[in-house]
């Protein structure tokens, strides 16, 4: 069951986005054209097939604009919907519906795009043990929402922030001097409850990391052949994560190597939107 994000976390973001759109003068177009007492019923309709995410956020955008708006979802987050499907019905003051429309759709289209892209990669590796995970390459301010959308698409989350776990990357190693020193300093500087992962680019680095002792290894930009050899070297001792320019087309071959995780940055920072519109009834 997909757990919704806490209202207290999402409301300030949605409220600030509405204020950004309203500016100082409000919706000049709608206020000039639509009488204040006009009521309307409108439908959120998918223009293409995909997976929905962000219904609660869209509903909040309408509700913050006018609490009299009724938001009636037809589907729920994580649902796969067909092109032309009605996702939700909104009813209430027409001015508020039209004024909140763009903010609600911006969130819903973007998050549904993330969920849809994730679902495509998850489907591509079905039958293998590899989990599809997102990383910290997120839109500033939208991390929690984008990572939620990944879960709606059937994926899993990597670190939410720098305080989740230790991930030793190439620049850490370069500044520390070598991979052994970097791992030793990480162990000395964190508590026993903190997991340590290290990024390796070569099988030689992997051998050192395994000998030094870590919880997970990030196999960065390795070929499928290298990944297979790396998984054999690890032999189940630590978690293996593959990363680097993964697509739905390349993911099956990567998953077939036996890695535990496949991390993909573009799911959150570059996934195309799912086209959704608001139609008058």
Distance (Å, rounded) from C-alpha 216 to C-alpha 219?
Answer: 10
Is there a contact between 242 and 222 (Cβ–Cβ < 8 Å)?
Answer: yes
Is there a contact between 41 and 90 (Cβ–Cβ < 8 Å)?
Answer: yes
Beta-strand pair 239-243/261-263: parallel
Q: Which residues are catalytic?
A: 102, 137, 169, 199, 220
Distance (Å, rounded) from C-alpha 93 to C-alpha 205?
Answer: 62
């Amino acid at each position: 069951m997909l757990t919704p994000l806490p209202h207290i976390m999402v409301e300030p973001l949605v409220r600030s986005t509405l204020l950004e759109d309203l500016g100082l003068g409000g919706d000049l177009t709608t206020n000039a054209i639509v009488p204040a007492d006009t009521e309307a019923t409108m439908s959120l309709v998918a223009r293409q097939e995909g997976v929905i995410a962000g219904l609660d956020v869209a509903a909040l955008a309408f509700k913050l604009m006018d609490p009299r708006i009724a938001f009636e979802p037809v589907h729920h987050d994580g649902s796969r919907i067909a092109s032309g499907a009605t996702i939700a019905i909104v009813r209430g003051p027409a001015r508020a519906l039209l004024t909140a429309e763009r903010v609600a759709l911006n969130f819903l289209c973007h998050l549904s795009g993330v969920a849809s892209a994730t679902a495509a990669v998850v489907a591509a590796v079905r039958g293998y043990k590899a989990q599809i995970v997102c990383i910290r390459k997120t839109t500033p301010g939208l991390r929690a929402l984008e990572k939620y959308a990944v879960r709606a698409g059937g994926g899993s989350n990597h670190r939410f922030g720098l305080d989740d776990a230790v991930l030793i990357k190439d620049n850490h190693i370069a500044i520390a001097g070598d991979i052994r020193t970097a791992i030793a300093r990480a162990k000395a500087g964190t508590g026993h409850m903190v997991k340590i992962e290290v990024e390796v680019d070569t099988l030689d680095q992997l051998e050192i990391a395994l000998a030094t002792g870590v919880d997970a290894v990030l196999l960065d930009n390795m070929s499928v052949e290298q990944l297979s050899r790396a998984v054999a070297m690890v032999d189940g001792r630590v978690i293996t994560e593959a990363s680097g320019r993964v697509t739905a087309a390349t993911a099956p071959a990567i998953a077939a190597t036996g890695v535990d995780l496949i991390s993909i940055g573009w799911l959150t920072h570059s996934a195309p939107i799912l086209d959704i519109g608001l139609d008058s009834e």
